[in-house]
């Protein structure tokens, strides 16, 4: 029995839920984003407004928005690689803080990872699901819940797994039928337009191997991020936020990403920010349209521990998360 068959055996028949994906901040962009995602094998969950990736799982395409609820209790878990203590002292500007965060990231040991492994990320998230039907948008609130995801290290064509709020979903660019991945022709080798297997992905849907290949020179990395707009339709700050949100970033690349962020205009420093698990940290905030996103970092280790999003006009929190555990594992569904 192969890994996919074993996963299918453990999973119930899909209930129509989709993995949340691309962040969009105004309703008029929804249709554009949905059409763009038809060309993508898998996209990352983003807060504010989210459209589920069309090729990920069986079920209707939905739109969701991450919205904060009551903070839950922290469930700390080991991170990979282990965090080293950062240099003491509170920076006074966003650029100074990002420089310290970059230095702390660069000092982390680079893990040895096999192509057959998976990135495992466990987090607490809270969100609102917005469904668009016949041009009308309706919203339903979700409670704070745990999210676990297994993403392939080297090849997006390998089946991953999402366990969120009690629901298990296979992650694949191929169709998922009755809880199993359908690789029959003509899907084999070309599960979606402009996509072939194997694939290390692209910005907005990057494997660890692709992350390892990113430029580490800040100027070159900034050019790469700007060129990646064809995949994400986002500015560099948003692209960086999406990359760090639910992934394990190689230390040298993480350092370069934060050094690029330090060059970008519009950042503000938040001396005391709290993630949804109640962990206090220091944050870098970015505002786009009327929405503000805070990247929250541990004050001692300067590791990323979650984010907080809210509407600056209304003050309503519309997205919170807390990273509880990151590790590499051998199989989808395996715990560290």
Q: Per-residue pLDDT tens, the chain, 336 aa: give them.
A: 666 666 655 554 444 333 333 333 323 333 333 333 333 333 334 433 333 333 333 222 222 223 232 333 333 333 444 555 454 567 889 999 999 999 999 999 999 999 999 999 999 999 766 778 888 887 666 789 999 999 999 999 999 999 998 899 999 988 888 889 988 766 666 677 667 899 999 988 999 999 999 999 999 999 999 998 878 888 999 999 999 999 999 999 999 999 999 999 999 999 999 999 999 999 999 998 889 999 999 999 999 999 999 889 988 888 899 999 999 999 999 999
- The predicted structure's pLDDT at residue 189: 64
DSSP letter at 331? S
Q: Which of 94, 50, 140, 71 is nearest to 317 (CA)?
A: 71
Are residues 220 and 252 in contact, defined by beta-carbon separation less than 8 angstroms? no
In a domain, 333, yes or no: no
- The predicted structure's pLDDT at residue 312: 92
- The predicted structure's pLDDT at residue 20: 36
Q: What is the dihedral sign for C-alpha 239, 147, 287, 53?
A: positive
- The predicted structure's pLDDT at residue 274: 96
In a domain, 336, yes or no: no
Which residues, in sequence order, are CB contacts of 227 under 8 Å at separation 6+?
none
Split into its structural domains, the chain has a count of 1
- Bond into 247 cis (ω within 30): no
DSSP per residue over 156-190, as a string? TTS-EEEEETTEEEEE-SS-EETTEE---TTSTT-
Query: Rounded distance, CA 332 to CA 120, Å?
Result: 8
Query: Rounded distance, CA 192 to CA 194, Å?
Result: 6
- The predicted structure's pLDDT at residue 6: 63
Give the distance, in angstroms, between the CA of residue 180 and the centroid of all CA atoms in the same chain: 24
- The predicted structure's pLDDT at residue 134: 84
In a domain, 334, yes or no: no
In a domain, 213, yes or no: yes
Q: Which of 291, 320, 274, 311 is nearest to 127 (CA)?
A: 320
Is the pTM higher than 0.85?
Answer: no
Phi and psi torsions of 100, nearest 5°:
-70, -40
In a domain, 170, yes or no: yes
The parent domain of residue 256 ranges over 3-326
In a domain, 335, yes or no: no
In a domain, 97, yes or no: yes
In a domain, 332, yes or no: no
Query: Rounded distance, CA 179 to CA 200, Å?
Result: 24
């Amino acid at each position: 029995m192969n890994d996919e068959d074993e996963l299918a055996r453990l999973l119930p028949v899909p209930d129509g839920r989709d993995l949340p994906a691309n962040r969009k901040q105004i309703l008029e962009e929804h249709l554009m984003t949905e059409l763009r995602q038809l060309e993508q094998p898998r996209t990352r969950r983003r807060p504010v407004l989210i459209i589920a990736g069309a090729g990920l799982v069986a079920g209707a395409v939905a739109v969701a928005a991450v919205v904060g609820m009551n903070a839950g209790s922290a469930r700390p878990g080991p991170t990979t690689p282990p965090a080293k203590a950062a240099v003491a002292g509170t920076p006074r500007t966003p650029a100074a803080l990002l420089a310290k965060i970059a230095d702390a990231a660069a000092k982390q040991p680079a893990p040895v990872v096999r192509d057959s492994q998976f990135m495992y990320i466990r987090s607490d998230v809270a969100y609102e699901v917005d469904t668009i039907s016949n041009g009308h948008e309706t919203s339903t609130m979700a409670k704070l819940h745990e999210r676990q995801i297994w993403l392939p290290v080297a090849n997006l064509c390998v089946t991953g797994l999402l366990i969120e709020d009690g629901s298990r979903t296979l992650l694949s660019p191929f169709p998922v039928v009755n809880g199993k991945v359908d690789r029959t022709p003509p899907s084999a080798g070309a599960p979606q337009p402009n996509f072939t297997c194997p694939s290390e992905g692209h910005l907005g849907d990057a494997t660890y191997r692709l992350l390892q290949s990113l430029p580490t020179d800040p100027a070159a990395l900034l050019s790469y991020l700007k060129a990646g707009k064809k995949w994400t339709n986002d500015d560099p700050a948003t692209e960086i936020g999406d990359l760090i949100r639910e992934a394990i970033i190689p230390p040298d690349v993480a350092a370069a990403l934060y050094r690029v962020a330090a060059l970008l205009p519009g950042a503000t420093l938040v001396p005391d920010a709290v993630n949804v698990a109640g962990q206090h940290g220091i944050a870098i905030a970015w505002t786009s349209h009327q929405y503000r996103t805070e990247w929250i970092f541990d004050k001692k280790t300067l590791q990323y521990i979650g984010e907080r999003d809210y509407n600056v006009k209304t003050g309503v929190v519309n997205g919170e998360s807390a990273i509880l555990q990151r590790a590499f594992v051998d199989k989808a569904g395996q715990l560290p």
